[in-house]
Chains A and B, each alone.
Chain A
Amino acid sequence: MTVETSKHRELGLTDAELDLIVEKLGREPNGVELAMFSLLWSEHCAYKHSRRLLRRLPTEGERVVMGPGENAGAVSIGAGYAIAFKVESHNHPSAVEPFQGAATGVGGILRDIFAICARPIAILDSLRFGELDSVRSRHLLDGAVRGIGHYGNSIGVPTVGGEIYFEAPYEHNCLVNAMCVGIAKQDEMVRAAAAGIGNAVVLMGASTGRDGIGGASVLASAELGDGDEAKRPTVQIGDPFEESKLLECCLELLGRELLVSLQDLGAAGLTSSAGEMASAGGVGIDLDVARVPLREADMEPFEVMVSESQERMLAVVEPGKVGDVIAVCEKWQTGAAEIGVVTDNGRVRVLDGEEVVGDMAVEALVDGCPLYDLSPAEPEGWIYGNRATLATGVSAEETLLALLSSPSLASKRWAFEQYDSIVGSRTARRPESADAAVLAIPEADNAIAISIDGNGRRVACDPYAGTVEAVLECAQNLACVGAKPLGLTNCLNFGNPEKPAPAWQLDRAVQALADACEALGVPVVGGNVSLYNEGPEGPIYPTPVVGMVGELPDPDSTAPSAFAREGDAIALLGPFEPSLAGSELAKQRGELDAGLPQPDIATVAAACAAVREAVRAGKLSSAHDISDGGLACALAESAIGGGVGCRVDVQPLRSRGCSPEEALFGEASGGFLLSGNRAVLEDLGATLIGQVGGATVEVVAGDRSLSAGLDVVESAWRSLPAQAERDGA
């Protein structure tokens, strides 16, 4: 196979990068080698524009069992068990084909979890689309939700939470981030490093076809433009049945100690899993493409090496155990083929039968990609658009209804009812019944809580403050169910890092993530980066999606987010000083602008601790963090959930300097909306603002006072199905 001189550019490599490859090889790469380098040297695999920034993140903590660099991070939960978790993006494939893109996104993150011998116990997802009044956004939403449900439901892992936002900058670059959480016995966990010279390399699972060829470099690291349709053949197709068998097979193999190491095949397929396993183990690997079971005849060696066919895993096995491994695979009706061997020469060699068709030093292939510094520059002012959909003169009631019926704020029941949220018998709090998902961990006689969050619009207003808020919101969500954070994973979804504004957003967001995690004492145990999310219209909102896992002593001792008892007092806790900057209301009025107030992490952390302890002690009837749409929307949500109204006076916020409108609809970190016994709330130092009762949501706020029937606010909040299904499909 000869290589045309410009081929490397089509594959996403710069001229300088090609020169470096030639220097490292001592010759021109052949086609197989160029394909493999182009994938492993892509942003997706090499993190070449983000790795230096990511070194700022705190990754250590006494509960950390596995940190970044493994298939997934993990923290100990007690009794010899660990909780593994990771979030990953599948943005570009989902923009091309939302059903398969989202489904295979779920499939991929599941494999990352069971690759370290953790049984997946929960899925969460974080989705971003353009405004729902666009046909394309409705198509993408519908497909992504169906795809997530299809895969998660079929494989028997509950989807317990998530979030969906609709904002114009995601119109051409939707985000589909999936998070998986698993449980493992700490002494059974495996790392992804190949070891043992002469050990066999076994490919397990589905056969290899042409799916996703070029996926990593053509799809994942390039901007989408016109002609997306032409990229359709490269979309991977998911098969949850195959994965279900592969999952059980791998867990049985690992439980019986038949494997030395295990790695999933994700982006860049065999190239990246073999390369990364060899690199982590400091060894070499020989692979024979002629021994790879193929779904399509006549695949070229380079196609076999870069195929992204789903539901495949690569294992290193001692020669004496290969027979046992193949027997277990046969029991689970999943494929297994010995395709290579671990060597001591530090090279990845690709063979086609007898013939060597590729030969590269592991160091050059996996770790040789140059890392780039960014050239960040703060843009002047607000670089995204504004579109007014709500006039300024409307009444407070109408404003509340407009906010509640905004698809980003409205109930997501339409979506989460399409997901099995209960399989596994661990789900103590189902979606929208509490601020965080709560799963029982009977293995350790306790429970975990999980939250995923990231409001890209607020990060766009101020990348530093907005990212701190995302971390704090997760911490607040966990506090509301009585959980203490154990660890954090993240997915950084940004625009083109080679341009100054996205580079600045990325730089500030990573710094904020580092500072917030440091201040909260929460280690970052894993993550994923998705850059180049932009098209001719500009970049997406910078969207760091934060997934946080915490522990609580008892799955029954959590608080719901809904009001529970007529007559309960309602109170505010925390350093909540809302403003309209970056708020949903500012968006609807077309008044978005750069800048947000800076949250004070320490005081929010103290409020989280107070709420957490009160919830654990069973002192509160409900706990809900005040987020999108401000206090008025939080009150409406708690009232709708509890089927009971409330009467509130925002005077205490007025005395903190808020205008009536800011008190009602302003947003900020640090606010908890609590209900319960009046004396208990006062003891906590919370500020009393009203009482649960009646069939209306009434808020006294000077000239913006409002009163709306519970049925009216509920029908606004439940309007997502009508908005999502308006095409009749």
Chain B
Amino acid sequence: MLWGVVQFPGSCDERDALHACGLNGEARLIWHEERDLGGVDAVVVPGGFSYGDYLRAGAIARFSPAMEAVAEFAAGGGAVLGICNGFQVLCEANLLPGALLLNDNLRFVCRQVDLIDAEGARLSIPAKHGEGRYWAPEEMLDAIEANGQVAFRYAPGQNPNGSARDIAGVSNEAGNVLGLMPHPEHAVDAMTGSTDGLRIFESVAAVAA
């Protein structure tokens, strides 16, 4: 299993993602100017502030050569995980439905939250973002719920940002592209608080297999 972690100027969590992927195979960084993903089995678009997140979070990163390659990889059924800024990039690139808006209280928030996955399991994962309020038109929300594309919701009462229907993460229709605001790569070691994030990397690896 070879993971590729895309690195943009302004990425912050790429080393943490690389470490987390490395617990589940081999992992290497993909520089944003690389047009060739080099035969990776799965791609992680990590957190941070790609290109400073100026204009809109993720808006500029989606046009990078590496993201063009990721879009092709995803279209061919490749497994892609977008975390935080990576989720924003995937939404901007129309690889995932919806958009991420400024948190409803206008403040960055860094907090351990409980997520409920599609099977109803509870995961403790930290969230940290200023623009994480998931939004989509009502009919799109109805559609992704009906298609089973809501991968994670914040546990009742723990929605940190005003996301529509408590949505924390969504997948595409085919199920090979997943994005979420909380950070599973920061929940892979009991020393830093939780190991529940490992399950998310395992599920992406299962899609790639």
Binding site for B on A (CB under 8 A): 146, 149-150, 153-156, 239-242, 244-245, 248, 332-333, 416-428, 430, 440, 555-556
Contact = CB atoms under 8 A, between A and B. Distances in A.
Nearest to B50: A241
Contacts of B15: 424-425
Nearest to A555: B191
Contacts of B107: 146, 417-418
A149 B108 contact: yes
Given A241-B52, A428-B191, A422 B12 contact: no
A422 B111 contact: no
Given A153-B130, A417-B111, A425 B10 contact: no
B13 interface: yes
Contact of A425 (B9, B110, B128, B189): B189
A417 B110 contact: yes
Contacts of A421: 110
16 contacts: A154-B10, A154-B52, A155-B12, A241-B9, A241-B52, A242-B52, A244-B12, A244-B49, A245-B9, A417-B107, A418-B110, A420-B12, A420-B110, A421-B110, A422-B183, A423-B12
A245 B10 contact: yes
B192 A427 contact: yes
B9 A240 contact: no
Given A153-B12, A333-B9, A422-B192, 14 more contacts: A149-B108, A155-B12, A156-B11, A156-B48, A239-B52, A241-B49, A241-B52, A245-B10, A418-B107, A422-B128, A423-B13, A423-B128, A440-B191, A556-B191
A416 B109 CA distance: 9
| Number of chain B interface residues as a range | 20 to 34
A723 B189 CA distance: 36
Contacts of A427: 192
Interface of B: 9-13, 15-16, 19, 47-49, 51-54, 107-111, 126, 128, 130, 183, 185-186, 189-193
Contacts of A428: 191-192
- Taking chain B's interface residues, is the majority helix, strand, or loop, or is none over half, making it mixed? mixed
A348 to B, nearest CB: 34
A422 B10 contact: no
A614 to B, nearest CB: 21
Contacts of A155: 12
A591 B190 CA distance: 47
Contacts of A239: 52
Given A156-B48, A420-B128, A425 B192 contact: yes
A333 B50 CA distance: 13
A80 B151 CA distance: 45
Given A153-B130, A156-B12, A156-B13, A419 B110 contact: yes
Contacts of A149: 108
Query: Nearest 5 CB-CB pairs, A to B?
Result: A156-B12, A241-B52, A154-B49, A425-B16, A420-B128
Contact of B110 (A244, A248, A422, A440): A422
Nearest to A440: B191
A493 B165 CA distance: 49
B103 to A, nearest CB: 10
B41 to A, nearest CB: 23
Contacts of B110: 416-422
B87 to A, nearest CB: 16
A155 B50 CA distance: 10
A240 B52 CA distance: 7
B19 A425 contact: yes
Contacts of A240: 49, 52
A423 B108 CA distance: 14
B126 A422 contact: yes
Contacts of B19: 425
A440 B193 CA distance: 13
Contact of A423 (B16, B51, B189, B190): B16
Contacts of A424: 15-16
